[in-house]
Structure 1
Amino acid sequence: MIWLLRFVLLFFIFFLFYAVVKILFTSSRKLESARKHNRFLLIDNDDVRKNFMLTYKGAVFAGEKYIGSTDNTFDVISISIWPENSATLKGMVKDDFFYIDKKILENYPNAEINWKSPVKEFLQH
């Protein structure tokens, strides 16, 4: 009976360790840390149907990918990006958005990037 109790205790310790490690390395935690430290971070799945999140200079953006055909393959051909909170865009300049475009195009070279409001209007002026 004591060996069963030891086994359950050992199992509980391993489960607790696994849960703590999983919580520490979640993508939302990484995104929040990068946002607080004003770093660039792009969190994306290989699944085209899922949106991606990125942060740059304290602002968080969401992006939606659309697949289509290129020369001989199906690839991401269009990406729509919008800020999660427009108030966090304060202090950003056009070069910041061009930098974000460049970083996204490194992952999706065939994509056309479409910014949604209010960034779209800002870039047109």
Structure 2
Amino acid sequence: MLVVMFRILILIALALLVYTWIQYYRNPQRRLRIAKASHEFYFLDEPNNSKKNFQFVYKGCLFEGEKYLGATENSFEVVNIHVVVTDPLDLRGLTRDDLYFLENEILIRYPHAKIEWKHPINQLLLTSID
């Protein structure tokens, strides 16, 4: 009886380990860190949750966008987005064309949004995309 109980406990422990490994592997924050380390573009967002900010990585720089809900002609949509950078030193090497690429990626996901870049990014943008 005691041996059977230990076998069941070992099976439960193995199942818990497999579950934990799968949850770690599927964690979106882990994917964001990997994209930052490899200087790739990765966009992390919950499009159905307008209260939760989105994050994206481009060329090793982590950005965070705050979504604000507003009224459009037909419905309530995200109409204003404020983008800030978490570490301004990571901006080294980014060009205006890179920021235009990021604006286009945001506008693909939120077509009604007006994007505001916060300091120090707004210093680089002299002209805006409408």
Same-fold call, TM cutoff 0.5: yes
* Further displaced range: 3-12 or 30-39: 3-12
Matched with 2:38 is 37
List alignment gaps of at least 5 residues for structure 1.
none
Q: TM-score, normalized by length of structure 2? A: 0.92
Q: Within 2, Cα distance between the matches of 1:49 and 1:3? A: 49
Deviation at 1:8, TM superposition (A): 1.5
Deviation at 1:24, TM superposition (A): 2.0
Matched with 1:47 is 49
Matched with 1:87 is 89
Render the CA deviation track for 1:32-88: whole Å, top value 9, x for unaligned: 111111111110013110111100011000110000110110110000001110000
> Partner letter of residue 81 of structure 1?
V
Q: TM-score, normalized by length of structure 1? A: 0.95
Deviation at 1:4, TM superposition (A): 2.2
> Partner letter of residue 38 of structure 2?
H
Could you list the structure 1 runs, at least 4 aligned residues long, displaced by more than 4 angstroms after superposition: none
Q: Within 2, Cα distance between the matches of 1:92 and 1:72? A: 37
> Partner letter of residue 19 of structure 2?
Y
1:73 is matched with which residue: 49, 72, 75? 75
List alignment gaps of at least 5 residues for structure 2.
none
Quote the RMSD (CA, aligned, Å).
Answer: 1.1
Q: Within 2, Cα distance between the matches of 1:99 and 1:13? A: 45
Q: How many residues were matched structurally?
A: 125
Matched with 1:103 is 105
Secondary structure in structure 1 of the residue aligned to 2:55: strand
Secondary structure in structure 2 of the residue aligned to 1:114: strand
Matched with 2:11 is 10
The alignment-based identity, stated in percent, is 33
Render the CA deviation track for 1:7-33: whole Å, top value 9, x for unaligned: 111111010111012112211110111
Q: Within 2, Cα distance between the matches of 1:118 and 1:98? A: 15
